[in-house]
Amino acid sequence: MGKPDSRRGSLGLFVIVVLAGAGTMIVELAAVRVLAPWFGTSAAVWTNVIGVVLFALAFGYLVGAQLAARERPQASLALALFAGAAFTAWLPSLAGPVAGFFLPSGVTLARAGDLLIWGSLATSFALFAPAALALGCVGPLAVECLHRQSGEHAGSAGGRVLCASTLGSLAGTFGTTHYLLPTLGIAWTFYLAAAVMASLGVLSWWLARPRSTLGALPLLLAGSAVLGHGYGGPQLGEDTRLLESIQSPYQFVRVVERGEGEQLSRQLQVNEGFDSYQSVWQPQPGLLPPGYYYNYFALPAWWSHAEGDWSLLVLGLGAGTAWRVLEGTMPEGAHLDAHGVEIDPLVVSLARRWMDLPEDGENHRTLAGWDARAALSRDERKFDQIILDTYANQMEVPPHLSSVEFFELVEARLTPGGWLSINIGGFALDDPVVSAIAETAAVAFGSEALLLRVPFSRNVVAYLRRGVPLPTPGSSTWALPDGDVSALLAPCEMEGRWALMEPPVVAPLSDDRNAIETLQRRSLELAAAQIAAHKLR
């Protein structure tokens, strides 16, 4: 090969390496999004995906090292790229069947603990390992090609290839999260990555000047994948209608509808693979049917005998369910000054289209695209009530929104006598997640937390108050004037349905030490054990 040929070949190789590096990160980052509707995006799922991809890459490096010793590494490189393209192109179509194989329908959240971990691991292996393995071959083969073409030292060639590959991975990382997924969605992100890899394969094949055209076979396989079913997330129930679904920079979001007439209701679901939801809507504002924890956010305004403006901040606004419940239940003479923080702007857009979330105005202000803690840090205003409802997926509480430092910040944003109301997913008052969050908040507030179990649900609402004692069943401050809101109290007055949580000496959850994910898994295990413990003697 002459010098210009060698230079052209090296340039081609670097293009291949950069784009293959980007492809690896596209597969890895989009992989978590593919799994999210079934398994969530907890640290355990991320760990499984990253672990499997690293493992497959290591295997790929080894395979690449073997192939590099063969006569025509450039042709092997082309084959690796074709294989990577084919495996990547089929990911959207295979995701549903494979995830469904390891997480069948009918599994309830209470029983999903181990399945979330093992299912996501097995699914990651089956789906992503082949593509990552193929892409892992690219590095060693590229080094070998470069070394043979230019006569560079192996170390020099390896270093330059690593640099190019890592820069490509960097571009793939940012591009996937901030551009590809929100713009193209999951399926077309994979198709694009596959198309790029297939094109690189053609380039590599051309550089190798092959004697056969068999290498085009994986290209055809990759192409045929686009004709498959694509990616649609988990199936809807028979009685559920899909109104709209989108891929946001954060998650898969959809609005579904059930029932007719007065029974009509809509739910906003975010990566929901189980029997859960993020927000709910019914035609009229006000209390929802029994079993919805949002109703219990209405109590503080009544306990405080609110008059005039009642300033409310909802952290984790979602589609604004808490706003609608409070709007329909405020005590006479009080009116709602509603603020909300929602991290995902597309959730807000969907909510405005389908769930009557008001546009910003005098009494409604939405801060979209902000993390709750970041928003709270920058806003010096004080509120009469702050509602914390910042769940991701089915059950994931972000650690930085459950730490003592966070709750100290919340307390500082409350007026004297102001309320913090927290929705906590938990199966009992002594559920590990409920205890940890309530105790942590109690430490931050320096006072007790009141816990109420929401009837017909697996939720507990915790109340804390700044500088004023909490009402408890039997106390003079507990009872409310007769009405729909006061009726919420009666089921909670029974023994075992409410508790006062004393602040412990040390907060269980902090920014430094936060085991919330472990506690969530423990909570699910205990719930399954609780159900299994019911026996006919």
Partner 1 sequence: MRAALLGSVLLTVLAFPAFTSQGGVAEAVRWVGEGRYAQALDAATKLGSAQERGQAQLYVLHHAGALNEALEAGLRGLDAAPDDAWLLDRCAYLAISLGAGSLARELCIRLEEHATPEAWEAAAWMLDEAEALEADRTAEALALSRARWSAALFGLASLVLMAWWGRRSPHSKSSTPRAPSVSVDGGMP
Whole-angstrom Cα distance, residue 531 to residue 384?
39
Tally of CB atoms within 10 A around 349? 16
Provide, rounded to whole angstroms, the least separation between the CB of residue 222 and partner 1: 23
Nearer to partner 1, 102 or 463 (CB): 102
Residue 463: strand pairing partners: 421, 450
Nearer to partner 1, 64 or 418 (CB): 64
Helix (H, G, I), strand (E, B) or coil at 158: helix
Provide, rounded to whole angstroms, the least separation between the CB of residue 342 and partner 1: 14
**Both ends of the chain: CA-CA distance in Å?**
84
Nearer to partner 1, 212 or 416 (CB): 212
The sign of the dihedral angle between the CA atoms of 470, 313, 353, 33 is negative
Provide, rounded to whole angstroms, the least separation between the CB of residue 123 and partner 1: 8
Type and span of the H or E element at 186: helix 181-208
The sign of the dihedral angle between the CA atoms of 187, 192, 197, 201 is positive
Provide, rounded to whole angstroms, the least separation between the CB of residue 113 and partner 1: 10
Provide, rounded to whole angstroms, the least separation between the CB of residue 12 and partner 1: 17
Cα 523–chain centre separation = 19
Sheet of 252-258, strand order: 241-247, 252-258, 265-270, 279-281
Q: Which two tokens stand for residue 485?
A: 């809101």
Q: What is the dihedral of CA 325, 328, 329, 330, to 10 degrees?
A: 110
Nearer to partner 1, 505 or 532 (CB): 532
Provide, rounded to whole angstroms, the least separation between the CB of residue 522 and partner 1: 14
Nearer to partner 1, 2 or 151 (CB): 151
Q: Tell which residue, 460, 461, 451, has the closest CA to residue 500.
A: 451
Provide, rounded to whole angstroms, the least separation between the CB of residue 165 and partner 1: 8
Whole-angstrom Cα distance, residue 108 to residue 274?
6
Helix (H, G, I), strand (E, B) or coil at 1: coil
Nearer to partner 1, 126 or 368 (CB): 126
Nearer to partner 1, 188 or 252 (CB): 252
Q: Tell which residue, 117, 149, 155, 214, has the closest CA to residue 6.
A: 149
Residue that is written with structure tokens 């030490």 in the block? 513
Q: Is 108 exposed, middle or buried (0-12, 13-18, 19+ CB in 10 A)?
A: middle
DSSP string of 278-298? SEEE-SSSSPPSTT-GGGGGG
Provide, rounded to whole angstroms, the least separation between the CB of residue 115 and partner 1: 5
Nearer to partner 1, 505 or 536 (CB): 536
Provide, rounded to whole angstroms, the least separation between the CB of residue 9 and partner 1: 12
Q: Which two tokens stand for residue 334?
A: 């009080």
